[in-house]
Amino acid sequence: MFLLDLAFRLSNIYVFFSTATSALDAETEHSIIETLVKLRDEEGLTMISVSHHPSTAVKADKIVVLEKGVIAEEGKYDELVSRDGSIFKRMVDAGEEPLEE
Domain count, the chain: 1
* Helix, coil or strand: residue 5: helix
Residue 39 belongs to a domain with what CATH number? 3.40.50.300
Residue 100 lies in a domain: no
More confident residue, 76 or 46: 76
User: Which residue would you say has higher pLDDT here, 48 or 10?
Assistant: 48
Cβ-Cβ contacts under 8 Å for 17 (sequence gap 6 or more): 6, 49, 50, 51
The CA distance from 21 to 4, in Å, is 10
Whether 37 is in a domain gets the answer: yes
1-18 pLDDT tens trace = 444 444 444 556 666 655
Instruction: Let me know if residue 86 belongs to a domain.
Output: yes
Q: Is residue 89 in a domain?
A: yes
Distance of CA 69 to the CA centre of its chain: 18
Q: Which residue has the higher pLDDT, 100 or 65?
A: 65
Domain that holds residue 51: 3-93
- What are the residue ranges of helices labelled H in 1-86? 26-43, 77-81
54-65: pLDDT as tens digits: 877 888 889 999
Q: Is residue 99 part of a domain?
A: no
